[in-house]
Amino acid sequence: MKFFLRFILVFGLCGILSSAFAQFPTEYNSKDSSKIRSTSLTRKYITAERIVWISDSTGKEVQNPESILKPGVGQADLNQGEYLNLNSTKDSFPGIVLDFGREIQGGLEIITTRSNPNPAGKVRIRFGESVSEAMSTAGEKGATNDHAMRDFEITLPWLGRLEVGNSGFRFVRIDLMDPEAKLEIKEISAISIYRDIPYLGSFTCNDERLNKIWLTGAYTVHLNMQDYLWDGIKRDRLVWVGDMHPEMMTVNTVFGYNEVIPKSLDLARDLTPLPNWMNGISSYSMWWIIIQRDWYYYQGSLDYLREQKSYLTGLLKQLSVAIDASGKEILGGGRFLDWPSSSNDKAVHAGLQSLMVITFQAGSELCNIIGDRETADMCLSCVKKLKKHVPSMAGSKQAASLLSLSGLVPPEQACKEIKKDGAHRMSTFYGYYMLKALAKGGDYEEALNDIREYWGGMLDLGATTFWEDFDIDWMKNAARIDEIVPKGKVDVHANYGNYCYKGFRHSFCHGWASGPTSWLSQYVLGVNVLKPGCREISIEPHLGDLQWVKGSFPTPYGVVEIEHKKQLDGTVKTTFKAPKGVKVVTL
């Protein structure tokens, strides 16, 4: 009888719970869907690859550290074993620094054992994009908790699992904060939060350094493809529209269509009612128009473009009144190209003048496509007016690049300025446009060498993602970012950086630095889009000093596979395979 009653109770309760859970999603979907925010992100748990530093060499305060390098299961249990033990004294507090192998966006999972008191104790956690940042204190040499908490204290449970943190990092330092205490930790895993999407585009050549640079640029942008497209995963974690252009080109090159681009463009539009400037910067509103044009050419969604008509035409008309009688731009708002050029007013003006030309050219194309002939004609009139005023290059590689790309100065003239002192005075953001200007002037080998020296320099210092800014002079006597800085060496992260990114505030994963990825696919692999949606593309390789290159390029119709081999007489033999719907023109 007792068994029968228990049977009825258990299975009756199961039926009630089953009914409740079945109705739960329906209730939310039908009544409260506005309160639910979905995400396209996934999570992966990563075990540390090595221990960088231990506070104690005696083996008394930090015991069994190597146990933390064993892959875990993510579950606390009642077993006892040889786990990481941190033992403090009255005056000494043990700590450990872990290396998870490469930069990630996410947090940390810590699992404690039954051997702990209740609660287990207080620990301090410090995330770092470099070892030295993980060893720093918030407020020290630019170290910050401004946009993501990377230096904080938490209390761990007695026997359980705790997830904490949301930042960009590769290294983590954990310190026991309680005096005369013992803490036992079973597992520590990094939590990588990312979009689980395939790398459809590829690039491989006989220069392994270029291969690694291409892939590092792709990975840098991939990490920033969160719910929106961020500029950086530690700082600022915001949608900066100008930063989006090189990121968008990398997305087109590596991933093909992804919702993060239109979603971020729409966010910027909706947050910026006219006559405001996106992010408070007039050039960033211009970049929004340029991105719309390039996104349409690569992905070909006419319906999406038509949705932008009202804002697009309104913004173009707003820009049209920012030209004086002589054809000179008189833009308001923040006047900005990139940080390294920001103190050169003449260079900023030259860049803005050029961006106005590029923007109205893009605006004319877009307005013709959506059938607004009147606004398209206005755009061409503005281009004609702007071309009456040609600023100087002002000793700036940024200005020279945009002047060339806009057609305001001959490409050969701009190349002379850009080639001065090689990779010196380059920038991670506008370096992309410097490379494009060199290609326009036919200096492909110069561009390849700049890529090797400038972006390769970050790799030589231990980078796994590309940085917010970089100067190759920083490499002099520099320590790698993945090691404790040796005596007599320069700490690059602590001692360099400028403007808003001094010291440890400097972002070491910034999407605007990914330019070589799309550049190598466009100019070396040779893929150029001729008609919207990649209905027609050209393949025109420029191998420079390379012997061979092969790769793939994503289109809305499928992936194009390409291979180039340099022959003994110096000519290049090209083979390709394109999906149905894509016309290929070889040049």
Write down the pTM of the prediction: 0.94
- CA 51, CA 49: separation in Å to the nearest integer? 7
Q: What is the percentage of the chain residues whose pLDDT exceeds 70?
A: 94
Eight-class DSSP state of 521: I
Say whether pLDDT at 385 is over 50.
yes
Decide: helix, strand or coil at residue 244.
Answer: helix
Take residue 24 and report the two structure tokens written for it.
């739960």
Provide mean pLDDT across the span 499-508.
97
Non-local (6+) Cβ contacts of 187 within 8 A are 68, 72, 73, 74, 109, 110, 111
Provide mean pLDDT across the span 336-343.
97
Decide: helix, strand or coil at residue 400.
Answer: helix
Location of each CATH 2.60.120.260 domain in the chain: 42-194
- CA 72, CA 344: separation in Å to the nearest integer? 53
The pLDDT score that the predictor gives to residue 17 is 42
Say whether pLDDT at 9 is over 70.
no
Take residue 479 and report the two structure tokens written for it.
């320590």
pLDDT digits (tens, 9 = 90+) for 257-270: 999 999 999 999 99
pLDDT digits (tens, 9 = 90+) for 270-289: 999 999 999 999 999 999 99
The pLDDT score that the predictor gives to residue 5 is 45
Provide mean pLDDT across the span 390-415.
98
Q: Which CATH superfamily is domain 42-194 in?
A: Galactose-binding domain-like (2.60.120.260)
Provide mean pLDDT across the span 151-168.
97
Say whether pLDDT at 7 is over 60.
no
Say whether pLDDT at 402 is over 80.
yes
One-letter amino acid of 338:
D
The pLDDT score that the predictor gives to residue 57 is 85
* Average per-residue pLDDT for the chain: 95
